[in-house]
Amino acid sequence: MNAVPAARATPVNGSALAALNDWVAEVAELTRPDAIHWCDGSDAEYQRLLEAMQADGTLLPLNQDTHPGCWLHRSDPQDVARVEHLTFVCTSAREDAGPNNHWMAPDEAHAKIDGLFDGCMRGRTLYVVPYCMGPIDSPLARCGVEITDSPYVVANMRIMTRMGADALARIEREGAQGKPFVKGLHSTGELDPDRRFIMHFPEELAIKSYGSGYGGNALLGKKCHALRIASWQARQEGWLAEHMLIVGVENPQGETHYIAAAFPSACGKTNLAMLIPPEGYRAKGWKVWTVGDDIAWMHRGEDGRLWAINPEAGFFGVAPGTSAKSNPNALASIQRDTIFTNVAVTADNQPWWEGLDDRVPAIDWQGRPYDPANGPAAHPNARFTVSASQCPTYSPHAEDAQGVPISAIVFGGRRASLVPLVFQARDWAHGVLVGAAMASETTAAATGKVGVVRRDPMAMKPFCGYHFGDYFSHWLSFDQPGSKLPGIFHVNWFRKDEEGRFMWPGFGDNMRVLEWIIGRVTGEAGAVESAIGLVPEASSLNRDGLDLDGQTLRSLLQVDPAGWRHEYKAIAEFIGEFGERLPGKLKAEADRTARALDALA
């Protein structure tokens, strides 16, 4: 790493940064780096990092004629996804982490992971990465500092967060007011899966991550800070840190409704956030605006509504399946200045992945000549990292300091059977149950089996930094006099027929469901009651230009009482696992629905 500027022991002498300086010194003492570099976030710094990574092979240039400023990173083949079984929430009381988290006592966790950090940066540069999650001038934004020995992580953090001098200035300002920043310590270590841990210490606002360079394990601003630590802070301070995209839907009258939607990793959040409405909608003047594709921080505004910011500044999206059909906006965003991780390349060195187009790749994600016998050319969890500002539909309000007002919250997962295309919760408490009862087939975003249905409340199973029982209570607590809460909905784009084919066309056609959702919150759209919530009649969805027969659409909207009785038994069992801390109100909601289903028997 010769190209990085000379190390500086401290950035400034301001006493508000004393805590930061002390911590950096302490970490350097433990990890023994050859050099320390404080990141300023400048273009020049970024260019030097890219050059250094090109020189040592960390980054390979892609075809600069077709993809200027685009790079390929091939990760260690054993380091391609989040590792939930190695991710811990370390609270002093085990109960506070809940049955939804792996737990380790803080002292034991520190001792274990500090043992791994001991001397691990010898021969490497220690980067100090100050960052801000959320618009730099937003009172809702929060700062952190990640210390890492990975220039790839630094480059990704620069795209994914507001990183550098401005963040450091905010940290200093807030330090003077006694406001802490989140401390994240990261080393790629040896990339040995047996020497890998992602530890969270919410009581200390600290994260320690060792042995992985992959996205959610290593870009500590993302899942570790903006979800696990932030969810803990949010509960204490009365807001919500959620695994949700934020999308604005503008109607022909020019009014925009913002929707926040929680789907598990690799279930189409990026696609929905960047949706292009069907031709008929566009002709009438409907538009869709992208605010965020993964995380929403929501606060109660003075007007009683929920207001949301996207704490991130970029997209770390799943490449496979991204195409001119599924997501033209994402595709347009990643034609330049993008870091690709674990994609394949064509003979002329363009990035390629399954589902992109019918070209044949030349080299697979591991750098081998492509041979279908080796499996997919791109890793199924291959990613692109790109600045949100490159998205053609990036909302002009995405950087508003106060956020955007949320009209509807949508939960959803991959469910091949049973779960209708869309339904609406009766009220807030029922909506919290609908979120708590969410389930979805697992994807390649985390290591482990793919395609197994698991309960994933609010898509937060891997990301809630505390006991789910307390989390559900926190959600319920938003229902207060004077609040104007969003409607809560559940969607499922992934129903399959007997032949295993998807029944709903999805992508742009999901606009029809969004229109119904907005119609429900404005009082313009009708619905029929069912035991599980309110469903649209086939006639209340706009079918202009929809390539789907009426029979299939009706079956997508049907509620099957026998199947749902079975489902509610599983839900009762699942929420029962949260024991004493399960709010009685949630159990009452589940019992009420179960009784309504029984009455139909």
Q: List residues binding Mn ion (CB under 5 A).
A: 265, 294
Residue 79 contacts which entry, Mn ion, ligand SAT, none (Cβ below 5-8 A, type-dependent): none
Binding of residue 196 to ligand SAT (CB under 6 A): no
Q: Is 466 in the site for ligand SAT (CB under 6 A)?
A: no
The number of beta carbons lying within 10 Å of the beta carbon of residue 165 is 15
> Of ligand SAT, Mn ion, none, which one does residue 213 interact with (CB within 5 to 8 Å by kind)?
none
Q: Residue 210 pairs with which residues in a beta bridge?
A: 187, 197
Nearest distance in Å: CB 459, Mn ion = 8
Interacting partner of 222 out of Mn ion, ligand SAT, none (Cβ under 5 to 8 A depending on kind): ligand SAT
- 216 is in the binding site of which of ligand SAT, Mn ion, none (Cβ under 5 to 8 A by kind)? ligand SAT
Cα separations (Å) of 84 from 94, 100, 199?
A: 18, 11, 11
Interaction partner, residue 82 (ligand SAT, Mn ion, none; CB < 5-8 Å by kind): ligand SAT
To Mn ion, the closest distance from the beta carbon of 243 in angstroms equals: 6
Q: Which among 312, 294, 289 has a CA at the least distance from the CA of 245?
A: 294
H helix runs in 63-105, sequence order: 94-97
Q: Say whether 119 sits in a helix, a strand or coil.
A: coil
Contacts (CB under 6 A) with ligand SAT, residues 424-463 = 445
Return the number of the residue (265 or 349) whose C-beta is nearest ligand SAT.
Answer: 265
Q: How far is the C-alpha of 144 from the C-alpha of 129, rounded, in Å?
A: 8
- Minimum separation from the CB atom of position 292 to ligand SAT (A): 13
Q: Which stretch binds ligand SAT (CB under 6 A): 143-151, 216-224, 282-290, 434-442?
A: 216-224
User: Is 374 in a helix, a strand, or coil?
Assistant: helix
CB of 84 to Mn ion, least distance (A): 13
**Biggest alpha carbon distance in the chain?**
74
The residue behind tokens 């953090």 is 157
Provide, rounded to whole angstroms, the least separation between the CB of residue 265 and Mn ion.
4
**# residues contacting ligand SAT (CB under 6 A):** 8
Judged by CB under 6 A, which of 223, 235, 305, 379 binds ligand SAT?
223
Residue 316 binding target from ligand SAT, Mn ion, none, CB below 5 to 8 Å by type: ligand SAT
How does DSSP classify residue 567?
H
Provide, rounded to whole angstroms, the least separation between the CB of residue 432 and ligand SAT.
22
Given candidates 142, 222, 257, 495, which one binds ligand SAT under the rule CB under 6 A? 222
Instruction: Report the residue number, 410 or 571, with the smaller CB distance to Mn ion.
Output: 410
Find the shortest distance in angstroms from Cβ 388 to Mn ion: 15
Q: Report how far apart the first and last C-alpha atoms of the chain are (Å, whole number).
A: 69
Which of residues 316 and 472 has its CB atom nearest to ligand SAT in the complex?
Answer: 316
Q: Do the beta carbons of residue 408 and residue 487 sit within 8 Å?
A: yes
Nearest to ligand SAT of 158, 520 (CB atom) = 158
Q: How many CB atoms lie within 10 A of CB 382?
A: 28
Strand stretches in 125-219, DSSP E: 125-133, 142-148, 162-163, 182-187, 197-201, 206-210
Return the number of the residue (109 or 272) whose C-beta is nearest Mn ion: 272
Residue 158's binding partner among ligand SAT, Mn ion, none (Cβ under 5 to 8 angstroms by kind) is: none
- Tell me the residue length of the chain: 601
Q: Which of 90, 120, 132, 267 is catalytic?
A: 267
- Give the bridge partners for 566, in sequence order: none
* Buried b / exposed e along 544-581 (16+ C-beta atoms within 10 A): eebebeeeebebbbebebeebbebbeebeebbeebeeb
- CA 349 to CA 64: how far, in whole Å? 9
Shortest distance in whole angstroms from residue 295 CB to Mn ion: 7
Q: Which of residues 265 and 290 has its CB atom nearest to Mn ion in the complex? A: 265
Which entry of Mn ion, ligand SAT, none binds 300, CB below 5 to 8 A by partner kind? none
73 lies in the binding site for ligand SAT (CB under 6 A): no
Of the ranges 180-188, 201-209, 215-223, 543-551, which one interacts with ligand SAT (CB under 6 A)?
A: 215-223
Cβ-proximal residues to 533 (8 Å cutoff; 6+ apart), any chain:
423, 424, 425, 426, 430, 434, 490
Question: How far is the CA of 520 from the CAs of 399, 426, 512, 530, 554, in angstroms?
Answer: 28, 11, 13, 16, 19
Instruction: Tell me, rounded to whole angstroms, the distance of Cα 420 from its chain centroid.
Output: 24
Kindly state the smallest distance separating residue 369's Cβ from Mn ion, in Å: 33
Q: List the single partner that 239 binds among ligand SAT, Mn ion, none, CB under 5 to 8 Å by kind.
A: none
In this structure, the number of other CB atoms found within 10 A of the CB of residue 314 comes to 26
Question: CB under 8 Å to 302, separation ≥6 — which residues?
Answer: none
x/- mask, ligand SAT, residues 283-322, rule CB under 6 A, reads ---------------------------------x------
Site for ligand SAT in 257-286 (CB under 6 A): 265
Distance CA 346, CA 206 (A): 42
Secondary element (H or E) of residue 230:
helix 230-237
Cβ closest to ligand SAT, residue 225 vs residue 305? 225
**In angstroms, what is the minimal distance from the CB of 444 to ligand SAT?**
9
Annotated catalytic residue 90: no
Parallel/antiparallel/unpaired status of strands 87-89 and 197-201: parallel
* Nearer to Mn ion (CB atom), residue 265 or residue 395: 265
Nearer to ligand SAT by C-beta: 157 or 511?
Answer: 157
Q: Is 215 in the site for ligand SAT (CB under 6 A)?
A: yes
Of 215 and 351, the one with the shorter C-beta distance to ligand SAT is 215
* 414 sits near ligand SAT (criterion: CB under 6 A): no
The item of ligand SAT, Mn ion, none sharing an interface with residue 208, based on CB under 5 to 8 Å by kind, is: none
Give the integer Cα–Cα distance in Å for 70 and 118.
35
- What's the rounded Cα separation, in Å, for the pair 189 and 116? 8
Site track 75-94 with ligand SAT (rule: CB under 6 A), x = hit: -------x------------
Q: Which residues bind ligand SAT (CB under 6 A)?
A: 82, 215-216, 222-223, 265, 316, 445
> Catalytic residue numbers?
267
